[in-house]
Each structure stands twice: as C-alpha cells, then as structure tokens.
Structure 1
Amino acid sequence: MPEHLRALIVIVILATAVFSLAGKTATQLIPARDFKRRRNLWFALTLLAFLTHSFWLYAAAATFCLLLTRRQEHTPLALFFLLLFVMPPATVQIPGFGLINYLIKLDHPRLLALVILLPAFFTLRRQPGVIRFGRLWPDRLLLAYLLLVALLYLRETTLTDSLRQSLYLLIDVLLPYYVASRGLRQLQDFRDALLAFTLAAMVLALIGLFEYARHWLLYRALLGALDIEWGLMGYLGRGGSLRAVATAGQAIVLGYILAVAIGFYLFLQGVTTSRLQRWLGGLLLAAGLFVPLSRGPWIGAAIMLATFIASGRHALKRLFLLTMAGLLSLPLLMIIPGGQKLLDLLPFIGSVEKENITYRERLIDNSLIVIERNPWLGSVDYRKTPEMQSMIQGQGIVDVVNTYLGVALEVGLVGLMLFTAFFVTILQGIRQALRRLPRHQNEARNLGRALLATLCGVLVIIFTVSSISIIPVVYWSVAGIAVAYVQWVRLQTQPHATLDR
C-alpha cells in the first residue's frame, strides 16, 4: 500500500478519536447539525486530498462540496477555521496564456477563502447594520498598510506581477479580516468560530503527537501523490526527537497554531460544563504545543496565560502562584525521567541548539544596519547586502525569522509603523471594551480576556518567525475577531448606539 494511503488511515483514525471525544462538549456550545456538517466536510476534504491524486481534481471536488452545503452555514468563519488545516498550504500555479506565464498561485487556504469567505464578504456588505469598511481605525490602518505594500511592489517587479501580488493581499489579508470583523455579531458567533479553530487544532495536536512518537510525518507523502513540490515538510530533529509538523509545513508554524488554540481555549474552557472534558482538551493542546519542539510558541503561550490571568480578578495572587509553580517545577524536572531533556530544550536556560538564539540576535543587529540605509520605505535588494549575505544558512538562504524585521526591511519604518499601529489599536480597543463591561458578564469578559491574551501571544511569537505558511492568515483573522468583539461590546454597553455604514 502506498505511503500516503497508509497515512490516510492513521489520520482518519486520529481525527475520529478527536471529533468523537469533543463532540458531546461541542454540541453543548453550537447546534449539533452544524458540528456534524462541518465534521463530515473535514473528512470529505481529507479523503479527496488523499484519493484524487491531483490538486485540480481536489479543488474542483472540494468546491462542489462546499457550495453544496454553503446555504446551511450560519458562521462562514467557523467553517473556514475548521477546514483551514485539512491539507498543507503548498501552492500550485494556475496556467496563463500568451505572454502571461501563470495567472495566480493557488493553495488550500486561498481556495477556502475564495469559496467560503468571498461569498460571505458580498453577503455581509448587503446586510443592514454592518459597518462599512474604513469606518474603524483598524480598517484605516490596515488599508494604508496594504496600499503601501501594493505600491511598493511596482518598484521590484512587472505591472502584471504587481497586480497578482495585490490580489493575494485581498485574498489572504482583507477577506479573513473583513469576514471576521463583520461576520461575528452575537456571542454565539464568537463561540462558534473559536470552537471551530480549537477543534481543528486539536486534530493537529493528536496528529503531531503521533508524528513525534512514530517518527513519521503523515502529510509528507501527500505532496508527492498530488505532484506538488514544496520546500517545507522536511524531517527535522531537535534534541534527538523528530519535530512534528502535521499540515503546517514547519514545526514552528504548528506550534504557533497550537498556541493560538490555547489562547482561544482559555475562553472555551470556561463555558464547558464537563471538568473531565476541560482537562482532556487542555492536556491535548499542551501536548500538541510541545511536540513541534519550537520555543517561540512556548513563550507565546506563556504570555497568553499570564495576560489572561493579569486581566482577571486576583491577578497579582494568581500570577505569583503561577510564577512559583514554574520556578518549583525546574528542580523537579531534573529528577524525573525525561525531565532533563525538557530542560535542555527550554529557551534561554536549555543547551540544545543555542546557535538558533545567537542567529536571531545577529539577525537583529545586521538588519538594523540595513534598515538605516533605507529607513522609510525599505529596499528590494536587502538580501544582497553584505550584512544579510553573512546570515546565509546551510540551506543557502537568508532566513529572516522575525516578522517585524521582515516588514521593516521590505517596506520600511513607515510600513512597520502601520503594521504595529494596527495591532496596538486593536489591543487598546479590547482593553477599553473590558473596562466598559459590567463585572457580572463573566462570559463576555472572559472572551475579551482570551482575545487580548491570544493577540499578545501572537505578537510575541511572530517576533521569532517570518510570516510564512498559514501564519499571516491566522493573525489577520484573530485581529478581525478582536475588532468584532470591540464593536459587539460597544453595542451591549450603549444600547442606543448605531453602527456607521
């Protein structure tokens, strides 16, 4: 039996276990018919990906399945989230004609955005009470950032390619942000979307645990079966163990996805009635966060937990207890089996692959020198500078493993200021929303605390990784959910407020 079919059997078994265990809790939060429909679509798309042996056949069949069930979907973002990690986001080119080599590059997330989010975009624009894009400060900052990036494409490539890159910005950035920020208008919508992302991440967590234990990347053979070449999905180890990747392509991307799911779970565990289910879900996500062996997401998840606690009641006492528990666990790890291995992997105090931290420090120093030469709008050939050339790794590339530096190098400090101001404005909006909410609205407050914590953690994690693979789609979506929350709280606390159109 071919390897990808053997992998399919394992994936179906693992996913069945997750959906079965989570089904009872999920159907307490969302209608059972929605859970079953989305779960069945997850299995349908997974089977299509492994059995069609062609990305184009997969895309056509997946589009048909999604269009067939689209009218039954109440929360398009939830469906988008649950299916987002069905297969690796490897790209293929849609062939062009004449002087055009290819039209666009298509991958699984873009396919979902076009089939699920684009119709939702047009539907939301026609609905009464939906804020017109550009009325909110995050909208304006995002729009200014996207226009700057699109205009700067013209200095490095042809007009045709600039238009193509601008189209990617609309699909990968604007669609997720808009549907998230306008499509969630009731507390139930937020539960729906966060639950869908967390369920999809739990499936990845169990798959990652299997990959870590069996030293077998389950989705690697799928790319060969689909005849897709992708630079990611390689076997990499750390500390003598395989780093799990599941469908993320890279271990740090998988860790990032699991960290975001943990941030969302801080809210979901509060509305879950079964204590056993809460513990099982939390342990699965924590174990899934561990197996990529990526330290950046570990730090991000710790920031999320600390921020969530700090924004709640008895913050100082709970933060003190959390800190003491962390400090006391260090000597305990030295005596339990396998504990020393975990200590060696920890950031700053561990001994495994310290050179990665040194590389990131050198990257910051060298990047600042390059940025000083073209501070305002960046440069197109920054990778060719002596400082960047000295950063070439064994793969023969300059890996800018820092999203903020990547933005500053490519579009300058102007772009970086717009990028960071976008997120800072949203964080400030969440803080103000939490202050307006009455203390007795626990679920609404916990939702805001979880979104605040998740966004803080994300902003820390992307300091350690470039915006590759699925990373930007997730953080633009999280930002959109936070904007939707701020507007929802405004309506809850100001009953006579109206939304500008």
Structure 2
Amino acid sequence: MPEHFRALIVILLVAGIVFTLARRPATDLIPYADFKRRRNLWFGLTLVAFFSHSFWVYAAVAVVVLTLARKRERNPMALFFMLLFLIPTASVPVPGFGVINYVIDLNSIRLLTLCVLLPAALALSKQPDTVAFGRTWPDKFLGASIALMGLLYLRETSITDTLRQALYLYVDVFLPYYVASRALKNLADFKDALLAFVLAAFVLALIGVAETVRHWLLYSALTNAMGMEWSMSGYLSRGGSLRASATAGQAIALGYVMSVAIGLFLFVQAFVRSKLNRVLGALLLGAGLFVPLSRGPWIGAVIIVAAFIATGRGAVKRLSLLAIAGVLSIPLLTIVPGGDKVLDMLPYIGNLEKENITYRERLLDNSWIVIQRNPLFGSFDFRNTPEMQSMIQGEGIIDIVNTYVNLALRIGLVGLGLFVTFFASVLLGIRKALRQFPDKDDERRLLGRSLLATLIGILVIIFTVSSITVIPVVYWSLGGLGAAYIQMVRRLKHTQTVPLANASLQPR
C-alpha cells in the first residue's frame, strides 16, 4: 500500500476521534447542523486530496464543493478556519499557456481564499451596514502597507511580476483581514469562527502527537502523490525526538498555530458546559504545542496565558500563582522521568541546540548593518550583501528567522513601521473597547481579552520565525478579528447611547 494511503488511515482515525469527542461540546456554542456540515466537508476534501493524485484534480473538485458549501454557509470565516489547515500549502504554478511563464503560484490556502473569502468580500461590500474599507485606523495602516509593498516591487521586477505580487497581496493579506473584520458582527459570529479554528487545531494537535509517537510525518508523502514539490516539509529532530509539523510544513509553524488556538480556546472553553471536555481540550492543545518542540511558540503561549490573566479578575494573585508554578516546575523537571530532556530544550536554560540562539543573535547584528544602508525602504537584494552571505547555513540558505527583521530588510523601516502600527492600532482599539465592560465576567469582555492576549502572543512568536506557510494568513485573520471586535463594541455603545438620547427628548 502506498505510504500516503497508510497515512490517510491514521489521519482519518485521528480526526474521527477528535470530531467524535468534540461533537457535544461544540453544540454548546453552535447548531449541530453547522458542526456536522463542516466536519463532513473536512473529511470529504481530505479524501479527495489523498485519492486525487493531482493537485489540479483536487482543485477542480474543491472549487465545486466549496462553491456549493459557501451558499449554505452563514459564517464564511468559520468555514475558512475549519479548512485552513486541511492539506499542506505547497504551491503549483498556474501555466501562462505561452503568453507568460506562469500566472500565479496556487496553493490550498489561496484556493480556499478565492472560493470562500472572495465571494464573501464582494457580498459584504454591497451590504449597507458594512463599514467601507479605509474608515478605521487599522484599515488605513494596512492599506498604506499594501500600497507601499506594491510600489516597491516595481524597483526590482517586471510589470508582469509586480501585478502578480499585487494579486498575492490582495488574496493573502487583504481578503483574510477584510472578511474577518466585516463578516463577524455579534458574539454568536465570534463563537462560531473561533470554535472552527480551535476544532481545526484539535485535529492538528492529535496528528502532531501521532507523528511524534510514530516518528512519521503523515503528510510528507501527500505532496509527492499530488505532484507537488515542497522544500518546507522535512524530517527534523530535537533531543532525539521527531519535531511534528502536520500540514503546517514546519514544526515552528505548527507550534505557532497551537499557541494561537490556546489563546482562542480561553474564550471558547467558557461556553462548554462539561468540565471534563474543557480539561481534555486544554490537554490536547498543550500536547499539540509540545510535540513540535519549538521554543518560540512555548514562550508565546506563556505570554498569551499571562496577558489573558492580567486583564481578568484577580490578576495579581493569579499571575503570582502562575509565576510560582513556573519557578517550581523547573526543579520538578529534574526528578520526573523525561524531565531532564524537556529542561534541556528550554531557551536560555537548557544546553540543547544553543547555536540556534546564537544564530538569531548574529542575524540581528548583521541585519542591522544591512538595514542602515537602506533604512527607509530596504532592498530586495539584501541577501547578496556580505553580512547576509556570512549567515548561510549548512543547507545553503539564509534563514531570516525573524518576521520584523525580514520586513525591515525588504521594505525598510517605513514598511516595518506600518506593519507594527497596524497591529498596535488593533491592540489599542481592543484595550479601549474592554473599558466598556466593567463587569469582568461579561462574555464580550472575555472575547476581547482572548483576542488581545492572542495578538500579543503572535507578535512575540513572529520575532522568532519568518512569515512562512500558514503563519501570515493567521495573523492577518486575527488582526481582522480584532478590528471586528472593535466595531462590534462601537455599535453596541451607539445602540446604548441612542435610546438614552431619545429618552432625554421625551416630554415630562
């Protein structure tokens, strides 16, 4: 039996376990019909991918299936999140049929975006209650960032390639943000979308555990079977254990997804009635965070939990308990079986692969030298500089393992500033919105705390990794969710203010 069919059996078994256990708690938040439809879509498209033996066959079937599913879907972001991690994001070029070399590089995420988010964006733009793009501060900063990147492409490439890159910016950046920021308008919409992300992460988490236990990357054979070449996916180990990656392609990308899911789970779990289900969900995400053996997401997850606690009831006491637990866990690891191995992986504490930390420190030093030559708008040929050439690793690549550094090198401090300011405007908006809910147990405040903590964690994690595979689409989508939350609170404030104003006009 071919390897990808053997992997399919394991994947279906793992997913079956997750969806069976998740059915009852999921229906605490959404109708069972929605859960069932999206679960069946996940299984159906997974089967199509593994039996297609061609990305183009898969794409053709997926377009039809997603078009039909979209017409029955009331929440496009929930559908998008549920299928976001379905298969690896390996790309194939769409041929230019002799006119140009190729049209675009197409992958599973872009296919999903074009089939689900593009029609949703067009429909949203026609609705009278949709805020026009450019009316909010996050819109302005994102629009300026996209425009700057589009213009900077002109200096280094052809008109054809510039148009191609502009299309990527629209599909990869604008559409996830726009639909997320406009489609979710009430608390039920957020429950639906965040639950979908968490459910998809549950499946990835158990697949990751299976990969580590079996020392077998379950999706590695699928890309070859579908006729796709992908340099991202490869067997990596740390401390003698396989670093799981599932469909994320890289271990650190899987860890990043798990960290984000933990942040969103902090909101979702509050609506699950069964304490056992809440505990099982937390343990599964914790296992999914551990098996990639990526230290950046570990730190990010701790920061997410700490930021969430800091904005809640009894923050000082709970943060103190968290800190004490962290300190006590270090000596505890020295006596439990396998604890020394975990301890050795911890950043700045363990000794395992300390050269990775040294590499990141050198990257910061060398990059700053290069950035100072073109500080405002960067340079697309920064990799050819002597400082960057000295960073070539054994694989013959220069790994810019820092999203901020990569932006500063490519589009300068102006572009980096727009990127950071976009997320700062979302974070400040959420923080301001939280003040509308003095009751710290308010469900809407809980949602804001979850989004705020998750975005802070994302901004920390991407300091340790470049924007590869699923990483950028997740942070642009979460930025959109934050913007949607701000708009929801503003509408709520307006509806509360108008009745009061009308009441003051009544004759006495």
Quote the residue 2:329 is aligned against: 329
Question: Which residues in structure 2 correspond to 1:18-97 (within 5 Å)?
Answer: 18-97=18-97
Gaps of 5+ in 1: none
| Mapped partners of 2:440, 2:456: distance in 1 | 25
Are 1:161 and 2:150 matched, yes or no?
no
Rounded to whole Å, the distance in 2 between the matches of 1:59 and 1:354 is 42
Deviation at 1:440, TM superposition (A): 6.1
Question: Residues of 2 paired with 1:359 and 1:118: CA distance?
Answer: 40
Which residue pairs with 2:422 in the alignment?
422
Q: CA deviation at 1:97?
A: 2.5
Aligned to 1:114: 114
1:233 deviates by 1.1
Residue 38 of structure 1, CA deviation: 0.3
SS at match of 1:494: helix
Give the deviation of 1:30 after TM superposition: 0.5
Contact (CA 8 Å) 1:92, 1:228: kept in 2 or not?
A: yes
Aligned CA distance change for structure 1 residues 441 and 309 (closer, same or farther; 3 Å): closer
For residues 173-252 of structure 1, the aligned pairs below 5 Å read 173-252=173-252
1:128 deviates by: 2.0
Q: State TM-score, norm by structure 2.
A: 0.97
What amino acid does structure 1 have at the position aligned with 2:336?
A: I
Identity value in percent: 64
Aligned with 2:28: secondary structure? helix
Q: Does 1:312 align with 2:312?
A: yes
- 1:201-254, CA deviations, whole angstroms, 9 ceiling, x for partnerless residues? 010000000000110000000011111111111001000100000000000000
Q: Secondary structure at the match of 1:467?
A: coil
Write the mapping of 1:267-306 to structure 2, written as runs, cut at 5 A.
Answer: 267-306=267-306
- In the other structure, the counterpart of 1:345 is 345
Deviations 1:285-332 (A, max 9, x none): 000000000000000000000000001111111100000011011111
In the alignment, structure 1 residue 17 sits paired with structure 2 residue 17: yes
1:6 aligns with 2:24: no
Equivalent AA in structure 2 for residue 220 of structure 1:
S
In 1, the alpha carbon distance for the partners of 2:269 and 2:120 equals 29
1:422 offset after TM fit, Å? 0.3
Secondary structure in 1 aligned to 2:104?
strand
Deviates more, 1:50-59 or 1:438-447: 438-447
Match of 2:377? 377
Offset from partner CA, 1:62-95 (integer Å, 9 cap, x none): 1111112222101000000000111000000000
**Length, aligned pairs only:** 498
Change (3 A) 1:440 1:350: closer
Counterparts of 2:89 and 2:434, CA distance in 1: 36
Which SS does the other structure have where 2:86 is aligned? coil
| Alignment RMSD (CA, Å) | 1.0
Counterpart-to-counterpart distance in 1, 2:42 and 2:223: 18
Q: Deviations over 1:364-400 (max 9, x none)?
A: 0000010001000001211111110110001111110
Q: Distance in 2 between matches of 1:438 and 1:47?
A: 48
In 2, the alpha carbon distance for the partners of 1:441 and 1:128 equals 33
> Which stretch shifts more, 25-34 or 275-284?
25-34
TM-score normalized by the length of structure 1 = 0.98
Q: Does 1:445 align with 2:445?
A: yes
- 1:105 is paired with a residue whose SS is strand
Deviation at 1:496, TM superposition (A): 6.1
Cα deviations by residue, 1:113-166 (Å, 9 ceiling, x for unpaired): 000000000110111211000000100000000000000001111000000010
* Equivalent in the alignment of 1:124: 124
The code of the aligned residue for 2:414 comes to V
Which whole-Å CA distance do the structure 1 matches of 2:8 and 2:34 have between them?
25
Match of 2:505 in 1: none
Partners of 2:296 and 2:138 in 1: CA distance: 26
Query: Could you give the per-residue CA deviations for residues 438-477 of structure 1, whole angstroms, max 9, x where no partner exists?
Result: 4166211110000000000000000000001110000000
Deviation, structure 1 residue 99: 3.8
- Runs of 4+ more than 2 Å apart: none
Whether contact under 8 Å (2:312, 2:440) holds in the other structure is no
Task: Confirm or deny: 8 A CA contact 1:198 1:264 kept in the other structure.
Answer: yes
Q: Distance in 1 between matches of 2:416 and 2:4?
A: 42
